[in-house]
Structure 1
Amino acid sequence: MTGTSGPSRQPAEGDLDWPVTVDERGVTEIRVHGVGGGSPTAMLDDPTARQITGDRVAGVWRGLDWRVEGRSRWHREVYSWGGLTSKALSSALWLILLPFALVNLAGWMALGGRGRETGPANWLIVVQQNMTRVVGLGVTWLYLIFSAQMSMDLGAWQCARTTCRADGVWKWLHLDGHPHGAAAVAAVIPVAQILVMARLTAVSKRRYDEHGAPATSTPATERVAPADLARITMSSPHFWTARTYDEPARRIHLASSVLVIAFLLLSVAKAGGKFSDVVRAAWFVVGALLAVAVVCAAWDGLRRVVAERSAAPVYATAGLALGAAWLAVSVQPAGTPAEAGIMPGIVGFFDVVLVVIYLAGLLHGVVAVAGLRQVRALNNWAKPAWFPAPIVALVVAVAMTLAVGSGIVVWVARWLSPEAAPTSGEQLWQLSYPVSYTASAQLNVTGVLAVVVGFAVVAGISVRRRRREPDVALAAEFAVWKRYEALPGWQHLAGDERDGRWLRSVRTWLWLAGAARWLENLVIAVVLLSSGCLVAYAVWAFAEWRGSGFPVTLAICGIVLLFGAGVCAFTAAGTARHPHAVRLGAITAFAAGLALVVRVADRGLPEAGADPPPLDVPWLFGEAIATTVLALIPVAGVLLLRRAIRSDSTRRAVGVAWDITTFWPRGFHPLAPPSYAQRAVPDLVHRTTALLSNGNAVLLCGHSQGAALTAAALAQLTGLEEEHRARLSVVTYGNPLGHLYMRWFPTYVNEAFVDECLAVPAGNSWVNFYRHTDPVGRELFRKASPECRATEPAAGRDCWLPDPPTDLMRPGDGPPRIRQHGNGGYLWQSAAAAHLVHEAHRLESLTRRSSPMTEQVAVPEAGAGEEALIAFALTCPPDADLYAQALSRWEQTGSIEGDLETLRAALAGAQRQHRWTGTSIFGSAPFDRDPFVLALVERIRELSGGTVQRRQEI
């Protein structure tokens, strides 16, 4: 483009500041890849594919057009979203926050009646989701407690008074023997952790979340009321708008995290003795604010109040509390307190947080069981698991946080001082940590390993039996294979002379296709065993603890449990009548219970006879081994995800669970990894509506997780006009909606959701292809057709594809391969390929009926600039073959031959071949000065008489 103050700017490949214009007339096929995806060139099987929309993270790529009845009217595009989950280093770092993602997932797994946008919400779903938010807040605090335990307690409070690897730092800072000052300095580390979490959420909001708002929504600077997640459905216009989910919760989590550090600092200041009355009063105030944060997490009404107010007072209050706490610690005298041990307040606060998490989880579990019964009564063909899935997600999140966090703390303690031990720290020279940390590490590692080994043995026996049993599972495949007669020299591998080894491999893959249920039961078994071990240890520890702390603790738990049960009951009544008054009373009672916990923690439990001794059981892993294994889990996870970013095979192996985990918006934990669907779904909706609004047709093709994105986009297109619906068709393959999503997320993905999406394309033109060997993609509509005929009207049906497609083998060839879940294996199978061709021809005929006759396009004058030539070239679909033929003839004879339409296609092909590099691939001349291009334009001008008819056939 030529400017007035400088040389012309040449557009470069991938330079998305330069507008890319492509021909959109006819049918546009948009492929959406699945887990791990693949490069756009591989998806389109076209090395010349180029990006036409989006950025380096996600966008639409287009390859060469295919012809329909001799015309280039079948445009092939792929929406590439893999960069949203696997192109940045931060994607690997997000794995450290996997427990947050599991908590968020548990909220979307809430069990109960189907979501409704009008009328009273299902109280079962309301209670589960509110308790999930409470557990999520507790897990965030556990992260900070473990960080404070390593930095403020072990590295500062204890190391400042004894010999350890960090004592040189405190001597250099003149803080040796001054544990209060050391703890104040070390508080910088957990505060920095909070700032990093805030920064990550801010970056993700810009990269992912701001794409989710519809065009008619309020500006980004205005506040949006939080969505009612117990009523909202995936067809809601604001379902993928981040501001309706995480802004109030983000304030609560970040501000309360700062208050946690302030609370710990004030607990340390209380032990110093200076300004004790003022410090105690401040300690009570901060504790009350933390209780309010828990109430905010559990009460929708109070969260809405937080959302409607400015964030400045919330963050300012937390900042002032932290500053006051830091000042209170800094003024404490050196050498106090005289007794050794763990930093004051941290173990007590840890216990209180665990009580809140466990009781919220218990209430959640009781209600989830009732919700599971309600879901089963809905006669949904995709029955949920026998054990409530949200409980599993919550328990795994909490157990993972406790196990890994305690393992890292113990490992750090032993690194700082080899003499560190799980005792009360009676010796000044000895670092100490809670006994429960080592017990948690040992029980979790041993229990998980025992369950995994047991399941491996059972799975091996099952596979062995499947490989030897009769071919009942292959009955459908045998029926298809027998239809094909063997050509001379060919043989049926499943005929009379069967290749037993090949059939055994097919049976093995059929068994692996059902491995999702095995993994589901494995996780449930791990959850039950880990929970049982921790409960058993708690009972044993209380029995060993001979003091009067046991009944007091039980009394606290009982009181909070009663108040929590009141919240549950009142919430159920509140959804029917007088919700605000009833809920206010329930939350007040719950806050009173929390205040009681804070008060008892302040006064301290009565003196106990002795701490529970460390576990010394022969069949348990040793403390050193267990804690080392747990400490290496985050490092191994980051390395695994980094390898997955670079390796397709590893990415596919770990991608299924990760992509499902990050599919849902951050509605229940604002610090969870961002939802890629909040960017991908609006992108698909905008591209589809833009094409349909111009009279063109769209063929959406979704594979694996791309099928879930396609369905989510269809839910957002329920308001399409009838004329546009007629020019929309959908094909999914390897689709996890029926097999996984309807089983794990029945509140949001259910039969009503599928029927709503099915009605978007006119005539229910949605076909779902699946295989028995596919572990992810299965039936969706339960209308399987044994005969997949391309000419059959597509009326929302499942189409089964045999795998392998045939058992015929030619001498010298290998046996037919098993295609399983692969993208290419579906598209290259004859039934699916024939259906795509049939749909492209059907949709193309609809676009020709609605297209105008002609459109006049002016031919650039001689010597016209680059911009005019490019615009002119794009008025006709490019044809690389015609370009190559015309160029070869011109080089040999020096003449340009052909009719007007052929030469225009050749010129567009020339522009395509230049690939926006600005120079000829046969020389150094710019595109608008290339001799062949100038000759071609001149010949077109002679044939057209100065104008060009852009024809659109009727």
Structure 2
Amino acid sequence: MLDMSAPATPPEPPVASDRPDPGPDRVELRVHGVAGGTAEELLDVEPAMRVAGDGLSGFFRWRGRDDTETVPGVRREIFAWGNLNSGSSSRALWLLLLPFMLLNLAYWTRPGRVDRNPGGARRAADHVYDGSVRLLALSLTVLITLAAAGIGMDLVAWQCTAQAEACVRARPWLTFLASASSPLSAPGTALPLGALLPVTVVVVLWCLSRRTEREYEVVRGPVPPVTTDAAPLSRPDFWHNGEILARLRSAHIAVALGTVAVLLLVPALRHDLSGGGSALSGLSGFGMVLAVLLGTVMTASAGSVVVPDADPRRNGRVDRVCRMLRDATVTVAVGVAAYTAWPRPSWTPSGRLPGAGATLNALFTAQGLLVLVLLVASVVLYVSDRAHDRSAMRGMAGPATAALGALLGGGFSAALVYQGSLWLSGCDALTPGGPACLELAPPTAYSWLQLAFTLEAVIALVVVAAIAVALRRATRAHLPAVTEQYARSVRDRRTWEIARARAVGRMTEALPAVLTAFLAPVAPLVVLVLYSSLSGDVITSPRPADTAVSGGIEGLARETVALMVSVGSVLGGAALLGVAWIGRSAYRDRPTRQAVGALWDVGTFWPRVAHPLAPPSYAERAVPQLAARVARMAREGADVALSGHSQGSVLAAATIWQLPEDCAGRVALVTHGSPLDRLYARYFPAYFGPYAFADLRSRVSGWRNLWRVTDAFADPVRTRERSGDGPEVPGVIAPAEPLPDPRAYDPPPGEALRPEILGHNRYTDDPAYAESLWKVLNDGGDHRS
């Protein structure tokens, strides 16, 4: 229960003349949060400063030296890391990698403890969890490859050329490929040309991953940190995972290119084995050899992602093997392309691309099974040895995040292929099959994902309505505390504004329920793929969504589901247009890019150890940079106060865990607006939590944590530690009480405006911040309350 009894105006910090001069060897090192600002803004060094008023009208004066020091004599320094995610225009393209990011997050949301010697069922469950997430991540790479191949190889190179003149009339620019008189219209030449699209997508992802790895690479420090089991982020190699990333990238690229090769090989080999070639001899024999080689290297590449990565030497060996498998896949793929291009006069395309539907169905089946396996592993980890009792969703946040990433990836893929087919065919999304409509048929499995799009839209409307009702109730619930704290009438508009701000600040607790609601369509999709695997539909094709859901009944039921599928297609297209518009705006406009970058500030903190093609982890560069800087200042005799706001507090904590032993006692910590306890301890319980925070407290000379009830991300930071052989002792990093927000109900003397409700912003303007900085630099900050 939150303590609302704090006075409206806490005691002011001592004035500068009452404080001892802290000397010239003390540093306040600020680390900003998401979507930071310019260096001048963060340092507060603009020539003019506002002393009263607001952004519309105010009073300013020239800033003096004392105005740029939070505590007299303590020099201020900032670490600006925002450009790691939003500095380059190309970062706008990362929007397309959101499903990859979610799968990478799922790896880190495991509910079990992370120590060096797990045993028994927990060790097995831990390996199963790792392998399931990495295989799901691999399936997303295959999924995006199949989407690109679905357009380039299936719709254009196969189905469009099969309709020849009709395709030319609908899309004249495809004359070079679809016209019967074109030498490129034969399947053996059209398919390799169509394969250029998925190959280009794979190569772009490959190059992007390699480039960002080089940009974010840092040198290891000469002295390792003090490593403890309570703090997994204290491991010396935690932010250096180049070998793991490299081997995973090689495996993903190999399987993606192998998928394209499969789609090239199956139609040609099927034609040869059906009598179009000499069965089991000549071309067909060569095709069978290629099929065996391709299956071998793809299986080995997929299996390499589940190899445990605890031993650095083993990582190096596996990396070399994965590179060899990748190169072997490229070689076999070139052979497959040559085999497919071999002239076959009797080979003509018809229907859908052979093998495409079966590959997609098998992939969806594998994803459904992996989600179930991941769910079982999470249950075992949560029950056998959970990290702590405050894990979100009872330890099921990992499977939920993975399932959401897979669903989002499938939705994007379905929308891409469906919109591509509509554009190529000239059909209307809501009324397909018109007289001038070219008949192009995407795989029927995509219709289920289009249906899921519509269901998600309905769920979104219900969630918004439910949140509105809950917010209104919560606002009323906060009114008594506000009236008591500020001694004002409940009828005043200002009272309701403060109560609503507090209610909004506490709405983050509804996140698990919202996530669960959006995952509702996953259950029927998993049931569908399981049914497909048992009924044999994986090899053939599942029934379209409208036929299967309505049970084959003609009339209203089937028409309703068909309409929902069509609406899902429109929503999917709108989602793609929205992503494209945001990406274009972010590419050209830095403020928009910073707003988009805020998403990556939260989602890309963790290293890429599940999906190597996800956006890079900025912390892999930021944390070693911070640790090296702080260690140098500490060794030179400076007392350093790390001040982290929002996501910057997470970077600050990770930095302290990476400091060597000789820096102990020279570094203090001030966190404000920090999500360490409220979000990270709940959703990443294996790496953050009361035991890890107790370990963090023992490494600093002082720690103060500032938070507000109106802050949607911050909370008190709870600790738990064992004193000798005695019981565990819980604690809270001081101050346990929230800062009042606003600081006063009425305007201060000489002002005509009431103080703003700040929520998550401007903690450094609060007098409590200067007081906390002074405390941690002088008396240790009263660690616990």
TM-score (norm 2): 0.81
Pairwise CA distance, 1:633: 2.3
The yes-or-no answer on 1:183 pairing with 2:182 is no
- Aligned mate of 1:213, from 207, 220, 231: 220
Aligned equivalent of 1:688? 630
Q: Which amino acid aligns with 1:355?
A: T
Pairwise CA distance, 1:683: 0.9
Aligned equivalent of 1:245? 244
- Residues 850-904 of structure 1 show CA distances to partners (whole Å, capped at 9, x for unaligned) of xxxxxxxxxxxxxxxxxxxxxxxxxxxxxxxxxxxxxxxxxxxxxxxxxxxxxxx
Pairwise CA distance, 1:175: 3.7
Contact persistence 1:184–1:330 (CA under 8 A): yes
Taking the aligned partners of 2:212 and 2:359, their CA distance within structure 1 comes to 31
> Tell me, what secondary structure is at the counterpart of 2:393?
coil
> Tell me, what secondary structure is at the counterpart of 2:716?
coil
- Residues 143-178 of structure 1 show CA distances to partners (whole Å, capped at 9, x for unaligned) of 101110100111111112212225313158924641
Pairwise CA distance, 1:645: 7.8
Summarize the alignment of residues 618-697 of structure 1 with structure 2, pairs less than 5 Å apart. Answer: 618=560, 621-640=563-582, 643=585, 657-697=599-639
Aligned equivalent of 1:168? 175
Aligned equivalent of 1:291? 299
Q: Aligned in 2, Cα 1:470/1:184: closer, same or farther, shift over 3 Å?
A: closer
Contact persistence 1:180–1:268 (CA under 8 A): no
- Residues 911-948 of structure 1 show CA distances to partners (whole Å, capped at 9, x for unaligned) of xxxxxxxxxxxxxxxxxxxxxxxxxxxxxxxxxxxxxx
The yes-or-no answer on 1:435 pairing with 2:444 is yes
Q: Aligned in 2, Cα 1:626/1:611: closer, same or farther, shift over 3 Å?
A: closer
Aligned equivalent of 1:85? 85
Q: Which amino acid aligns with 1:352?
A: A
> Tell me, what secondary structure is at the counterpart of 2:354?
coil
Taking the aligned partners of 2:478 and 2:138, their CA distance within structure 1 comes to 53
Q: Which amino acid aligns with 1:327?
A: A
Taking the aligned partners of 2:715 and 2:547, their CA distance within structure 1 comes to 52
Q: Which amino acid aligns with 2:234?
A: S
Pairwise CA distance, 1:700: 0.7
> Tell me, what secondary structure is at the counterpart of 2:232?
coil
Q: Aligned in 2, Cα 1:538/1:115: closer, same or farther, shift over 3 Å?
A: closer
Q: Which amino acid aligns with 2:89?
A: L
- Aligned mate of 1:282, from 253, 273, 290: 290
Aligned equivalent of 1:399? 407
The yes-or-no answer on 1:344 pairing with 2:354 is yes
The yes-or-no answer on 1:157 pairing with 2:158 is yes
Q: Aligned in 2, Cα 1:175/1:159: closer, same or farther, shift over 3 Å?
A: farther
The yes-or-no answer on 1:501 pairing with 2:510 is no
Contact persistence 1:708–1:736 (CA under 8 A): yes
Aligned equivalent of 1:315? 326
> Tell me, what secondary structure is at the counterpart of 1:280?
helix
Q: Which amino acid aligns with 1:130?
A: G
- Aligned mate of 2:681, from 739, 742, 761: 742
Pairwise CA distance, 1:291: 2.2
The yes-or-no answer on 1:31 pairing with 2:30 is yes
Q: Which amino acid aligns with 2:214?
A: R
Aligned equivalent of 1:532? 523
Summarize the alignment of residues 413-452 of structure 1 with structure 2, pairs less than 5 Å apart. Answer: 413-418=421-426, 430-441=439-450, 443-452=451-460
- Residues 299-329 of structure 1 show CA distances to partners (whole Å, capped at 9, x for unaligned) of 3289847535366523320111111000010
Contact persistence 2:221–2:628 (CA under 8 A): no
TM-score (norm 1): 0.67
Q: Which amino acid aligns with 2:476?
A: R
> Tell me, what secondary structure is at the counterpart of 1:298?
coil
In the alignment, structure 1 segments of 5+ residues that lack a partner are: 1-23, 50-62, 218-229, 482-493, 543-548, 554-600, 784-793, 844-954
> Tell me, what secondary structure is at the counterpart of 1:759?
helix
In the alignment, structure 2 segments of 5+ residues that lack a partner are: 1-22, 49-62, 278-282, 550-557, 721-731, 781-785
- Aligned mate of 2:757, from 795, 810, 818: 818
Aligned equivalent of 2:766? 829
Pairwise CA distance, 1:32: 0.2
Pairwise CA distance, 1:388: 0.6
Aligned equivalent of 1:927? none
The structure whose Rg is larger is: 1
Aligned equivalent of 1:714? 656
The yes-or-no answer on 1:130 pairing with 2:131 is yes
> Tell me, what secondary structure is at the counterpart of 1:414?
helix
Q: Which amino acid aligns with 1:454?
A: V
> Tell me, what secondary structure is at the counterpart of 1:471?
helix
Taking the aligned partners of 2:248 and 2:154, their CA distance within structure 1 comes to 29
Q: Which amino acid aligns with 1:506?
A: I
Taking the aligned partners of 1:678 and 1:653, their CA distance within structure 2 comes to 21
Contact persistence 1:160–1:176 (CA under 8 A): no
Q: Which amino acid aligns with 2:90?
A: S
Q: Which amino acid aligns with 1:127?
A: V
Q: Aligned in 2, Cα 1:71/1:612: closer, same or farther, shift over 3 Å?
A: closer
Aligned equivalent of 1:16? none
Contact persistence 1:502–1:815 (CA under 8 A): no
Aligned equivalent of 2:381? 371
> Tell me, what secondary structure is at the counterpart of 2:630?
helix
Taking the aligned partners of 1:296 and 1:470, their CA distance within structure 2 comes to 54
Aligned equivalent of 1:107? 107
The yes-or-no answer on 1:354 pairing with 2:364 is yes
- Please, what is the CA RMSD of the aligned residues? 3.7
> Tell me, what secondary structure is at the counterpart of 1:125?
helix
Q: Aligned in 2, Cα 1:699/1:761: closer, same or farther, shift over 3 Å?
A: same
Taking the aligned partners of 1:532 and 1:68, their CA distance within structure 2 comes to 56
Q: Aligned in 2, Cα 1:609/1:412: closer, same or farther, shift over 3 Å?
A: closer
Q: Which amino acid aligns with 1:235?
A: S
Select between 120-129 and 397-406 the one with higher mean Cα deviation.
120-129
Aligned equivalent of 2:308? 300
Q: Which amino acid aligns with 2:738?
A: W
Q: Which amino acid aligns with 1:726?
A: G
> Tell me, what secondary structure is at the counterpart of 1:76?
strand
Taking the aligned partners of 2:545 and 2:459, their CA distance within structure 1 comes to 30
Q: Aligned in 2, Cα 1:177/1:254: closer, same or farther, shift over 3 Å?
A: closer
Summarize the alignment of residues 711-790 of structure 1 with structure 2, pairs less than 5 Å apart. Answer: 711-717=653-659, 719-721=660-662, 724-762=663-701, 765-781=702-718
Pairwise CA distance, 1:257: 1.4
Pairwise CA distance, 1:295: 2.0
Q: Aligned in 2, Cα 1:232/1:777: closer, same or farther, shift over 3 Å?
A: closer
Q: Aligned in 2, Cα 1:446/1:70: closer, same or farther, shift over 3 Å?
A: closer
Taking the aligned partners of 2:269 and 2:81, their CA distance within structure 1 comes to 53
Q: Aligned in 2, Cα 1:312/1:533: closer, same or farther, shift over 3 Å?
A: closer
Q: Which amino acid aligns with 2:335?
A: A
Aligned equivalent of 2:344? 333
The yes-or-no answer on 1:196 pairing with 2:196 is no
Aligned equivalent of 2:640? 698
Q: Aligned in 2, Cα 1:127/1:423: closer, same or farther, shift over 3 Å?
A: farther
Contact persistence 1:102–1:394 (CA under 8 A): yes
Taking the aligned partners of 1:817 and 1:646, their CA distance within structure 2 comes to 33
Contact persistence 1:41–1:48 (CA under 8 A): no
Pairwise CA distance, 1:298: 2.5
Taking the aligned partners of 2:454 and 2:201, their CA distance within structure 1 comes to 31
Pairwise CA distance, 1:687: 0.7
- Aligned mate of 2:466, from 458, 464, 479: 458
Q: Aligned in 2, Cα 1:653/1:451: closer, same or farther, shift over 3 Å?
A: farther
Pairwise CA distance, 1:379: 4.8
Q: Aligned in 2, Cα 1:43/1:658: closer, same or farther, shift over 3 Å?
A: same
Aligned equivalent of 1:803? 741
> Tell me, what secondary structure is at the counterpart of 2:96?
helix
Taking the aligned partners of 1:610 and 1:30, their CA distance within structure 2 comes to 59
Pairwise CA distance, 1:666: 0.2
Aligned equivalent of 2:261? 262
Pairwise CA distance, 1:415: 1.2
Q: Which amino acid aligns with 1:38?
A: G
